[in-house]
Structure 1
Amino acid sequence: MAMTRVLHTGDTHIGYQQYNSPDRRQDFLEAFRDVVDDAVADDVDAVIHAGDLFHDRRPGLVDLQGTVEILRTLADADIPFLAVVGNHEGKRDAQWLDLFADLGLATRLGAEPELVDDVAVYGLDFVPRSRRDDLEYEFAPVPEAADHAALVSHGLFEPFAHADWDTERLLTESTVEFDAVLLGDNHKPDTAELHDTWVTYCGSTERASASEREDRGYNLVDFTDDAVSISRRGLTETREFVFVDVDLEDGEGVDRVQERVREYDLEDAVVIVTIDGEGRPITPATVETAAIDRGALIARVNDRRELPDDDEELSVRFADPDAAVRDRVRELGLSDAALELDETVRNDELVDSNVRETVERRVREILEEDTAAFDPAPEREPDDEDVTTVADQLAHGDEDSAETTTPEDETSDESADTASLGDFA
């Protein structure tokens, strides 16, 4: 029985300096390397990437060099790398993926099929919500040599949580009947069947948010003569996250928190301490510093309790004062565009004399992309751990920014009457 096996990955977010840590930035690149090494070891027929290869539209040179090196590993093994553009990395003009294609290291998927043995693979880049109603799902016909068809895309698709993309409409209006839809954007892996089509998320390859507690990994998708099967494989070398949940009883305080933290091996780990209950107020920096003294790479305390009114003064976390500022900004209900501008103003790498020019240019770009970009954001909580989609909404935000909103910061053209796949390829 003939079988075509592809490795389905996505949301690698290369270049994300999480917690402002260079080590964490390297972790995201190394996770991608681990995926590619697995692909070579298993001799898969293709690696399919479902968007957000990079965390930012302007990845650093070191991140680009590392990515090229990893992609060359695939090319040397004659394993094609097929990908679409996600919302984090999308640019208004040429994409980084186009550069990799020019170098012979990647293929950017679109309305024309790419054959992987007997599987025709199509692509649909991330499309802003404002343009989806006019989107026509027109794809080139499936080649006669293909027994299966698969679509790769990036976005929050139904029937999964936090969805804003009508998958049923996509499947019913598409000019191609797909056997599988391979998705990126939701960092939680999941699979469902809709209209006799398998729809699946591969999840992210590194924890881009403290809410992503499950192990990271990717999908293996097997296309056989009469079936499609999807299996999950975990990554074993990702940075260890230690989650310490403490429910303080009345009268308990920092001593109890420290006692719980000491129960774990913290060496080189990211430590996330979450506090609930009725106990006394604590100083997060005390716990964070103690964890780092015991070998933790990074330590963060999330105190989820509602403190009495007389204690509701702004508490600066001296272990990371910028995090305290970001926490407060997120509570203001600003639009995603406003959050991005706030991050630009506070960017230590930006020379003061360039701030005004940079902000003015970015405002023009944002309004050209989406006239509603500065509309107020919906209600959201800084500690909402249910939302695990999207790494974050800030160019260099901390671990919680993914937990507040869904992506809507890409190119849009409100004057267009009808959008077609060619507009996004």
Structure 2
Amino acid sequence: MTKFHHTADIHLGKTYRTSAGTNLRYEDFFHTLTSIAIDAISSQARFVLISGDLFHTGQILPKTFAKTIEILQPLKDAGIPCIAVEGNHDWIHRRDSISWMEALSQMGYIKLLRPTRTENGGYRFDPFDEETGSGGRIEIDGINIYGLGYIGAQAGAHVPRICEAVTTNNNILLFHVGIWTYSPVEIGNIKPEEALPLAECFDYVALGHGHKAYTVSTPDGRPYAFNPGSPERVNFGEEGYDKGYWAVKVEDGKYTPEFRTTAPRPMQSVTVSVDGADTAEHAMETLKTELADKLQNAGEKPLIQLKVTGRVQFHPFELGRERVRRLLDEVADPLHCEIKNHLSLITGSGIGEKEHRSLADIERDVLRELIGMNSEWKGKEDELVSVALTIRDHVLKGDVEGEELLGFLSNYHEDTKDTKKPTEENNPFKAVIN
């Protein structure tokens, strides 16, 4: 009998730069991986599979790399190899540079699998070379492990080529991809019918990408693909997901997965309506009462997302984020909170008429006016407002590094064929970034 652990979407290095709890949140993801490594050693697992997104970004801090090695060292000492593939978060923009995943593989802490592309567009899974730390497949205890990683939105069209390249029996495939109807993410998925041929070539397809655990079966009910989800809660919206990893036993060619749960940080998303409030003070009183009720079981140092809604008779800006943040600190003492002001302002626009303007509408109008003040961006205000707000949201969530932000702007420039590439001096997003 062979035992192995299957995890994915660890997101080491994730934190919140705008939060006082940034250090604790940074450590959460390392604690989760540590618990999986400890269980693998105590369970005498033969190997550990990591189906992509070991890191939160391709450009990580040196201390993140050092802490990763610290966690992987006991597995290496115990002779338990970590076989991994790259997820979309692990990639770096400049492929002429060595990635942190490649460095870990060359140092022997993981075995990074990546296939070779043939001249006709097919795949070739060469045996893993221990000296170079590269290859497309590896054999352990008679089990042939193939690795693919993330190949983008057209992954479904590549499945036939993947299957054509398989030359062995008793196979596992590491594939950083989601399956539509199962995966909660919006991009990087393939259709269930596109994935089905994999069931003929692989006994166990180790998925990643979506942060929700699920199992995919053939039409006759045979499970063949397994996604563990992320073992820690990475983004708001995941509070309802079971968090953990798969512990799998293989005996006589039969794969028996067991889902083992982890202990992620508490997370809660709440919505409070202050509809009808005539003053900001009135709205704050309502917020305090509602939050005390809804967050009474939020847990220790939770992650909280608060959405404030309603039509009010005061300007939505009066209910500032810092003011609401102090209230949340008093009620629940969160490690980190995100506040979304969805209030609508009731204003008189004529006899017997009233107009409702949300804070989001006001923000867009102000930003549109700022961008439109530069004649070089005339006619593109709406498009640039959307891009700028997207950047703002990612920065506030702590989801992007400087390198990723630069890549995002460069991709925007290339996709739109803009003749005027943004620079430090000539940047329509400078106001919102600052």
How far is the alpha carbon of 1:277 from its aligned partner? Answer: 6.4
Structure 1 segments unaligned to the other structure (5+ residues): 318-328, 376-425
Answer 1 or 2: which has greater strand percent.
2
Aligned to 1:104: 108
Provide the TM-score with structure 2 as the length reference.
0.67
* Aligned 1:178-257 pairs, distance under 5 A: 178-194=202-218, 196=222, 198-213=224-239, 214-236=241-263, 238-246=264-272, 253-257=283-287
Whichever residue aligns with residue 305 of structure 2, its letter is: I
How far, CA to CA, are the matches of 2:82 and 2:57 in structure 1? Answer: 20
How far, CA to CA, are the matches of 1:349 and 1:180 in structure 2? Answer: 34
What is the percent sequence identity of the aligned residues? Answer: 22
Partner SS for 1:233:
strand
How far, CA to CA, are the matches of 1:95 and 1:205 in structure 2? Answer: 23
Aligned to 2:325: 288
Check whether the contact 2:309–2:341 (CA below 8 A) recurs between aligned residues: yes
Cα displacement string for residues 307-340 of structure 1 (whole angstroms, at most 9, x for unaligned residues): 54455346999xxxxxxxxxxx99954399x849
Check whether the contact 1:204–1:216 (CA below 8 A) recurs between aligned residues: yes
Check whether the contact 2:312–2:345 (CA below 8 A) recurs between aligned residues: no
Aligned to 2:302: 269
Partner SS for 2:301:
coil
Cα displacement string for residues 189-216 of structure 1 (whole angstroms, at most 9, x for unaligned residues): 1112036451121111222211111242
* Gap change, CA 1:335 and 1:77, over 3 Å in 2: farther
- Larger relative contact order (CA 8 Å, sep ≥ 6): 1
* Aligned 1:342-357 pairs, distance under 5 A: none
Give the counterpart of 1:312 among 358, 361, 365: 358
Cα displacement string for residues 130-162 of structure 1 (whole angstroms, at most 9, x for unaligned residues): 57646721434226xxxx211111122345244
Partner SS for 1:43:
coil
Query: How many pairs were matched up?
Result: 344
How far is the alpha carbon of 1:284 from its aligned partner? Answer: 4.5
* Aligned 1:112-123 pairs, distance under 5 A: 112-123=136-147
Check whether the contact 2:156–2:195 (CA below 8 A) recurs between aligned residues: no
Determine if the alignment matches structure 1 residue 23 to structure 2 residue 5: no
RMSD of aligned residue pairs (Cα, Å): 4.1
* Gap change, CA 1:131 and 1:184, over 3 Å in 2: closer
Q: Which moved more, 1:85-94 or 1:297-306?
A: 297-306
* Aligned 1:322-333 pairs, distance under 5 A: 332-333=385-386
Provide the TM-score with structure 1 as the length reference.
0.68
How far is the alpha carbon of 1:273 from its aligned partner? Answer: 2.8
Partner SS for 1:97:
helix
User: Rg: which structure is higher?
Assistant: 2
